[in-house]
Structure 1
Amino acid sequence: MRHPLHPALVHFPIACWSLATAADLASLVWGEPAWHLAGVLLVAGIGFAIPAMLAGFLELAKVAADHPAIRDLNRHMIAVMSALSCYAASLFLRLQGARLTEPGVPAIALSVLGFVALGVAGWLGGKLVYGHRLGVTPPSA
């Protein structure tokens, strides 16, 4: 493949998790339909995050240890893993067996915290591409 797979895959967990956070906040007004949707989106986001993260690890393996972007790469990876951890913990708190239940304040707070971590990860991902030019093929002369 001529271009990295990671950027193509990250849109799915980003969309699911962002919408899950929005649905969590909406559940404070609209109740069960919104919090149930948030739970389903958390499951989907976690499922989509796994291949996106694996593709990211494959891209990371191509970067030399002394590359100037390594510090930002590590920060990006920590932010993404923080988002995943927050969203997984939020999901765990709202599960009763295999059934979704109404999230409490801690579950919604973890969802919001996951969204903040996701935003930081996205900003760092943009910095890696647009600042450090990782994954960008130079124009042919």
Structure 2
Amino acid sequence: MRHPLHPALVHFPVACWSLGTAADLAGLHWGAPAWRPGGLLLAAGTLAALPAMLAGFYELTRLADDSPATRDVYRHLSVALAATALYATALLLRWRGGALSAPDALGITLDLAGFAALVATGWLGGHLVYGHRLGGEAAAAPPSTPRE
């Protein structure tokens, strides 16, 4: 593939988890009409994270052993795994009797910690793309203009 798949796939868990966190927080005020979709969004985000992570692992295999980005790639990977674990744990805590229940204080805390990790891994991913220029072909040099 000429274009990496990972950047295209991460939008789905990012959107679902972000909206799920917002819905759970809104549920503190509006109750079930807000937190019910929040639980479904956390589930969708957790499922969508799987192909995004697989694509990220594939991109990792294409990284040169001596790449200056290696340290930041592993930071991005670690924080992304932490976000996934936090959101998956929050989701599992809500699964009771075959249905999703309202988040408790621990669930809201896990949502917020997951969101913080999501922001951090997104920033690191942006740094990999824009700082280290990973994920695309090297930019072509601009055409030179003759001097007169």
Common fold, TM-score beyond 0.5? yes
Q: TM-score scaled to structure 2, two decimals?
A: 0.92
Q: Trace 1:42-81 onto structure 2 (pairs within 5 A).
A: 42-81=42-81
CA shift for structure 1 position 100: 0.6
Aligned to 1:121: 121
**1:60 & 1:3 partners in 2: Cα distance?**
14
**2:98 & 2:54 partners in 1: Cα distance?**
26
Aligned to 2:19: 19
Provide the aligned C-alpha RMSD in A: 0.9
Aligned to 1:136: 136
> Residue 82 in 1 paired to residue 47 in 2?
no
**1:103 & 1:136 partners in 2: Cα distance?**
40
User: After TM superposition, what 4+ stretches of structure 1 lie above 6 angstroms from structure 2?
Assistant: none
**2:6 & 2:110 partners in 1: Cα distance?**
25
Gaps of 5+ in 2: 142-148
**1:140 & 1:127 partners in 2: Cα distance?**
20
**1:140 & 1:71 partners in 2: Cα distance?**
26
**1:87 & 1:119 partners in 2: Cα distance?**
13
Gaps of 5+ in 1: none
Whichever residue aligns with residue 64 of structure 1, its letter is A
Larger gyration radius, structure 1 or structure 2: 2
Whichever residue aligns with residue 20 of structure 1, its letter is G
**1:105 & 1:44 partners in 2: Cα distance?**
21
Q: TM-score scaled to structure 1, two decimals?
A: 0.97
CA shift for structure 1 position 136: 2.0
Aligned to 2:37: 37
SS in 1 for 2:38: helix
Deviations 1:65-116 (A, max 9, x none): 2211010000000110000000001001111032011110000110010000
SS in 2 for 1:138: coil
Aligned to 1:91: 91
